């Protein structure tokens, strides 16, 4: 029995391990089909979250009458495996398992790979440029397709996830930066911290409240930003085509284009990456950096704009692969077969979360 064959685990009292950012996100998106958690366990925080008590993990008496849900993904995997096998004596259930089981269109990060696609996932190992990237992909495949958490996962610090200098990127070499799925403008600000001084920066954020926050952050930072850089703030959603789509506009990290819209969705304007580049007059001769962290729209955007991407002399891509199986299977394969890019993987979290592909244009 697994949690994906049955709702067995969700019929018990649910106790969340971790009262940090992920625990809070889980509660905000909690499925209406199941009862809310009865307790949070955390060794660093006390009090309550939305009326639910936080108890010290060290003082808790673990019980078979509870299902324990993991809501921290950056710990030592050996410790997590030991906790579930020796202390809790339960298979690992994550916060993302719950959200994806009940609301897969709204939140898909807990996706489970189809067994028929395992060979295709493994075949992507041949497109990666170094052994470290291959080990990361292997660990992701082990979790997504076999529910096995490897003890040998090498994570980077989340604060350095946008540090492209480890790939040999030299500050000031990008003329254009496109921040697809900005959320809080942190990607752009981090690139500026690293000394990258683009002539044009396009910041794309379709969620209404997040776009307002980006505008505020930009306004507050404007005096310290490079004077020669032209900034464009765009409130459309990157998608496979330019037009209009329904959108889960919740102000959270999961805000996304809806595949199966509900009454909670709003209409937003969409734009293809190719049209975006044309509208802002981005020349294929300008060295460009494109970040795509767009909650499941990554593959539709890459697929629809592939001809444009291949037409650029130098275009590097930073793409999140955590949100769906299509991205993990198709993006490395498509970019790898193009022979235009060297492909690297990094991850700042366990369970296939925080998986980021850096596609660096090969120097001819």
**Token pair 């009454």 in the structure block, residue:** 263
pLDDT at 325: 98
Q: Which residues, including other chains, have CB under 8 Å from residue 86's CB and lie 6 or more apart?
A: none
> Based on the domain organization, do 144 and 95 belong to the same domain?
no
> Based on the domain organization, do 26 and 142 belong to the same domain?
no
Model confidence, pTM: 0.95
> Based on the domain organization, do 199 and 292 belong to the same domain?
yes
CB environment 202-239: b (16+ within 10 A), e (fewer): bbbbbbbebbebbeebbeeeeeeeeeeeebebbbbbbb
Torsion of CA 356, 162, 252, 16, to 10 degrees: 70
- Does any domain span residue 122? no
Read off the CATH number of the domain in which 284 is found.
3.40.50.150
Please say which residue of 39, 69, 103 terminates a domain.
Answer: 103
Residue 242, class by beta-carbon neighbours within 10 Å (0-12 exposed, 13-18 middle, 19+ buried)?
middle
Strand 237-238 relative to strand 266-271: parallel, antiparallel, unpaired?
Answer: parallel
pLDDT at 1: 36
- Does any domain span residue 226? yes
Q: Which residues, including other chains, have CB under 8 Å from residue 146's CB and lie 6 or more apart?
A: none
Please say which residue of 37, 69, 103 terminates a domain.
Answer: 103
- Does any domain span residue 117? no
Count of domains in the chain?
2
In tens digits, the chain (364 residues) has pLDDT values of 344 444 567 789 999 999 999 999 999 999 999 999 999 999 999 999 999 999 999 999 999 999 999 999 988 999 999 999 999 999 999 999 999 999 899 999 999 999 999 999 999 999 999 999 999 999 999 999 999 999 988 899 888 899 999 999 988 899 999 999 999 999 999 999 999 989 999 999 999 999 999 999 999 999 999 999 999 999 999 999 999 999 999 998 889 999 999 999 999 999 999 999 999 999 999 999 999 999 999 999 999 999 999 999 999 999 999 999 999 999 999 999 999 999 999 999 999 999 999 999 998 7
Q: How many CB atoms lie within 10 A of CB 23?
A: 25
Please say which residue of 103, 136, 157 terminates a domain.
Answer: 103
> Based on the domain organization, do 267 and 199 belong to the same domain?
yes
> Based on the domain organization, do 207 and 304 belong to the same domain?
yes
> Based on the domain organization, do 207 and 329 belong to the same domain?
yes
- Does any domain span residue 33? yes
pLDDT at 7: 58
> Based on the domain organization, do 298 and 340 belong to the same domain?
yes
- Does any domain span residue 184? yes
> Based on the domain organization, do 96 and 144 belong to the same domain?
no
- Does any domain span residue 150? yes
How far is Cα 26 from Cα 45, in angstroms, rounded to an integer? 17
> Based on the domain organization, do 177 and 284 belong to the same domain?
yes
pLDDT at 25: 92
> Based on the domain organization, do 197 and 90 belong to the same domain?
no
> Based on the domain organization, do 166 and 225 belong to the same domain?
yes
Q: Which residues, including other chains, have CB under 8 Å from residue 152's CB and lie 6 or more apart?
A: 77, 135, 139
Q: Is the dihedral of CA 319, 321, 322, 324 positive or negative?
A: positive
pLDDT at 253: 85
Read off the CATH number of the domain in which 86 is found.
3.40.50.20
316 touches 359 (CB < 8 A):
yes
Q: Which domain holds residue 260?
A: 128-361
- Does any domain span residue 1? no
Q: Map residue 50 onto helix, strand or coil.
A: coil
> Based on the domain organization, do 64 and 144 belong to the same domain?
no
- Does any domain span residue 115? no
How far is Cα 183 from Cα 238, in angstroms, rounded to an integer? 13
Q: Which residues pair with 347 in a beta bridge?
A: 355
């Amino acid at each position: 029995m697994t949690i994906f064959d049955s709702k067995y685990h969700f019929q018990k009292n649910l106790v969340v391990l971790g009262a940090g950012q992920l625990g809070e996100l889980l509660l905000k998106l909690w499925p209406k089909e199941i009862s809310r958690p009865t307790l949070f366990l955390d060794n660093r925080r006390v009090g309550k979250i939305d009326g639910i008590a936080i108890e010290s993990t060290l003082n808790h008496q673990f019980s078979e009458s509870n299902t324990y849900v993991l809501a921290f993904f950056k710990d030592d995997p050996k410790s997590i495996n030991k906790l579930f096998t020796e202390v809790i004596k339960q298979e690992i259930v994550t916060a993302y398992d719950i959200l994806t089981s009940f609301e897969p269109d709204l939140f898909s990060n807990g996706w489970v790979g189809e067994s028929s696609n395992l060979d295709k996932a493994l075949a992507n190992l041949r497109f990666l440029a170094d052994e470290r990237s291959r080990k990361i992909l292997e660990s992701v495949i082990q979790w997504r397709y076999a529910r096995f958490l490897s003890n040998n996962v090498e994570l980077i610090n989340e604060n350095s996830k946008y540090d492209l200098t480890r790939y040999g990127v030299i500050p000031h070499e990008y003329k254009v930066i496109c921040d697809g799925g900005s959320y809080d403008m942190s990607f752009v600000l981090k690139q500026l911290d690293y000394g990258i001084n683009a002539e044009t920066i396009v910041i794309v954020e379709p969620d209404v409240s997040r776009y307002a926050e980006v505008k505020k952050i930009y306004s507050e930072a404007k005096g310290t930003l490079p004077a020669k850089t032209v900034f464009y703030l765009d409130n459309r959603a990157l998608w496979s085509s330019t037009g209009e789509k329904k959108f889960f506009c919740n102000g959270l990290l999961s805000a996304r284009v809806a595949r199966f819209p509900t009454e909670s969705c709003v209409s937003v304007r969409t734009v293809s990456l190719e049209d975006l580049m044309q509208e802002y007059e981005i020349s294929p001769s300008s060295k460009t950096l494109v970040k795509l962290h767009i909650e499941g729209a990554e593959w539709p955007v890459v697929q629809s704009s592939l001809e444009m991407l291949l037409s650029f002399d130098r275009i590097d891509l930073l793409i999140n692969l955590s949100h769906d199986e299509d991205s993990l299977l198709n993006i490395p394969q498509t970019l790898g077969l193009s022979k235009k890019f060297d492909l690297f993987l990094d991850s700042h979290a366990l369970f296939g979360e925080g998986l980021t592909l850096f596609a660096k244009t090969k120097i001819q």
